[in-house]
Amino acid sequence: MRQVNLGIIGGGTVGGGVFQAIQRNGALMASRLGVSLTVARVAVRDLRKARAVHIPAKLLTTDWHSVVADPAVNLVVELMGGTTTARQVVLAALKLGKPVVTANKALLSAHGEELFEAAQQHGTNLYYEASVAGGIPIIKVLREGLIGNRITRLFGIVNGTCNYILTRMKDEGADFAAVLADAQRLGYAETPPDLDVDGHDAAHKTGILASLAHGFWVNPKQIYVEGIRSITRQDIEFATKLGYTIRLLGCVKTANGVGDGPSPTKKPANRPSAIQVSVYPVLVPNSHVLANVNGVFNAVYVRGDVVGDTLYYGRGAGQDATASAVLSDLADAALDLKCGTKNRIPPFIPHERDGAVLPMDDVVSRYYVRLTVEDRPGVFAKIAGILAKAKIGISSIIQPEGHDGVTVPVILMIHDAPNAAMRKALAAVAKLPVVKSAPVMIRVESFE
């Protein structure tokens, strides 16, 4: 039986989980693959650090260079995190012609294009299933399972921390700050939590998915990002009464929806040159499956022009979920080595030369708007006048009962409008003397 020797860089939560999973199910994988996976060496930062998973001392070293360069190591597994040393590790391995498995979403978001080019140049491969959505095999789906489809819609709940917070806010009527504190205590959120709650983690993952789905590398600086800090208990309550659930979504959409779903009567579609790539809170209809993805779970909803709508659901983070995704990549890499096809399916194929990210100001959405206004006649007319001047239509106006006082909340549901028009109109509304706090705007997705 062919033996593949692994050099693992990183012995923390994920590295330890992968080592443990190989010890547990290595024999099972060997029986299925005809390839035996053996951990030859593990590079760590500190040999004396206590580890949740025991790794024999004879395998450990602090010198990652020696692991990557070891002739006995056939396959390098980068699980250290960060983007500086991790980039050096991956590039060093690829330049030696060694395939690399990584779970590092931040690394791929920042340097993916460079790393993919290096893999191609040196005739090897880069595998990254664990970089997005943990145990959900969404990378394999986009690279292989839906290879015959144009992807016209992709929506992802890809950050478990934010989903946990929003779920508890809805279920318990709790405030953001209180739930965030609990999430940090339980280990679901880091301290500080900025990467998660401000949407940057979701943006890393959404950019990778957008690049795969549309065939050009998405610059992370072009991704529009909003987090969930501004979501209040009041917004959660109003959304619920209106039949919606608030979720943080990564959104990847063609600019005009061409080829949106299978239909024998549709003409063949040309690929649009611009796509929306964004991360922001969304009002999701309660009837839609994504509204029912709760807690720390992730889900990715993908629409292909041939297959139609598909959904992928599971744990998006954690030691075991991530280790499972890494094992999947190890299996692919081992089979490629066994069969001598190091580049059977390249990590990324740029095939959309004119691809571009649509500026956020050009994105058209429906909107939920919450205003705090003086409780007196004429207020609605002034607000409606500003919106009408901007050619923005109001589908409904709701003044919830039980808010008697000097000021009251007003909820506006807005028809489709460009982001730029909404932004400018709400800036004008905020200047009205009758409006007593900054307007709150959350996008509404119909998934049509």
> Hey, which residues are catalytic here?
205
**Residue with token string 């880069």:** 126
For residue 317 the two structure tokens come to 């983070």
Q: H-type helices in 300-365, by residue range?
A: 319-339
Look at strands 297-304 and 308-315 and give their pairing: antiparallel
CB 228 within 8 A of CB 158: no
Query: Cα dist. 219→58, 150, 204 in Å?
Result: 42, 21, 10
Query: Cα dist. 365→24, 31, 52, 255, 386 in Å?
Result: 48, 51, 47, 12, 18
CA atoms within 13 A on the CB side of 164: 22
DSSP 8-state assignment for residue 256: S
Query: Cα dist. 31→1, 2, 74, 348 in Å?
Result: 10, 11, 20, 30
- Distance between CA atoms of residues 55 and 43, nearest Å: 11
